Amino acid sequence: MAEKKIILVTGGSGLVGQAIRRVTEENPRPDEEFVFLSSKDADLKDPVETAKLFEKYKPTHVIHLAAMVGGLFSNMRRNLDFLRNNLLMNDNVLQNSYKFGVKKVISCLSTCIFPDKTSYPIDETMIHNGPPHSSNFGYSYAKRLIDVQNHAYHQQHGCHFTSVIPTNVFGAHDNYNLEDSHVIPGLIHKAFIAKKEGKPLVVFGSGKPLRQFIYSLDLAKLFLWVLREYEEIDPIILSVDEAAEVSIEQVSRLVAEAFELEHGIVLDSSKADGQFKKTASNKKLRQYLADFEFTPLKEAIDHSVKWFIDNYEIARK
């Protein structure tokens, strides 16, 4: 039998980490043992605490998800914190992975770190081609440096450290905070309140901007493929096809339908729209996995809404 892999998942209590947990628990493999961590196990900003964690678990593989993540407004207010906290976590995880001889590390970038001025669709070669949007430059540069570090560890020490680039993720265990959440969990929480009050779901902006959304369980399956099969140091975009891009209005209607809102949605065009589109190409992924089937958006939203209703008390909000 193959040597047993001990896979440390940093950020294991978050949206993506919990999805990986569910997928691995449903299909366990005898040669893989997963350890899911949260900030309660160690503050990864702290080099000593991080080293102790590696000493304790002696991982052979690391999926590095832990990050300071936030919406537009907290990014704008705290660019320095997003920069420093993420730099520290990433450096501690990668340096300890090197010191403890970890065979493979997969870190997580994001499509929102790409240059502000770019051509579409964006692809993996464009990450460093210009400044990111000024609203989240701290988060973006910290994330971009993961790719720089991965190449440097590979060049100097032969390490197999790589990264993936998901588009907007949603699913169970999301952050539903009304002030500081991503699009879908924010809509789900607002629709939950609208349902209770017998009102329509009010959607900020024109509803016209386009986005690609990936269901957390689909992303989790792709993460496991990267863990087992992907050999490159260069990152890979994990996204639905360009044809699956949807407008904010379409996605809002799906959320309203899942709640069976009597009064549907109302678009509040007096509020600002974000970037019109951020289309990402999944051509590289499709070259590897031509037949991967993403969960239809309606089905994934129905599941996510059901999870929020069933878990309202424990949901992050």
Ligand X SMILES: NC(=O)c1ccc[n+]([C@@H]2O[C@H](COP(=O)([O-])OP(=O)(O)OC[C@H]3O[C@@H](n4cnc5c(N)ncnc54)[C@H](OP(=O)(O)O)[C@@H]3O)[C@@H](O)[C@H]2O)c1
- The contacts of residue 153 (CB under 8 Å, 6+ apart) are 94, 98, 159, 161
Confirm if 308 and 216 have CB atoms less than 8 A apart. Answer: no
CA distance to 15, 59, 95, 153, 303, per residue, from 147 (Å): 22, 21, 14, 10, 33
Binding site for ligand X (CB under 6 A): 11-17, 38-40, 43-45, 65-69, 89, 108, 110, 166, 168-169, 175, 182
Helices and strands counted in the chain (H then E): 10, 12
139 catalytic per annotation: yes
Q: What gap in Å lies between CA 16 and CA 170, rounded to an integer?
A: 9
Residue number, 181 or 261, with CB nearest to ligand X = 181
Max Cα distance, the chain (Å): 62
69: which 2 tokens? 């993540």
Residue number, 182 or 253, with CB nearest to ligand X = 182
- The contacts of residue 245 (CB under 8 Å, 6+ apart) are 210, 211, 212, 277, 279
Q: What gap in Å lies between CA 216 and CA 24, rounded to an integer?
A: 13
189: exposed, middle or buried (C-beta count within 10 Å: 0-12, 13-18, 19+)? buried
Residue number, 84 or 199, with CB nearest to ligand X = 84
Active-site residue identified among 57, 98, 120, 139: 139
Residue 26 CB, shortest distance to ligand X, in Å, is: 19
Residue number, 201 or 220, with CB nearest to ligand X = 220
Residue 248 CB, shortest distance to ligand X, in Å, is: 15
Residue 115 CB, shortest distance to ligand X, in Å, is: 16
Task: Please state the separation of Cα 31 from the chain's center in Å.
Answer: 26
> 218: helix, coil or strand?
helix
Residue 101 CB, shortest distance to ligand X, in Å, is: 22
Residue 258 CB, shortest distance to ligand X, in Å, is: 19
Residue number, 16 or 194, with CB nearest to ligand X = 16
Give the residue nearest to ligand X (CB): 14
Residues serving a catalytic function are 139
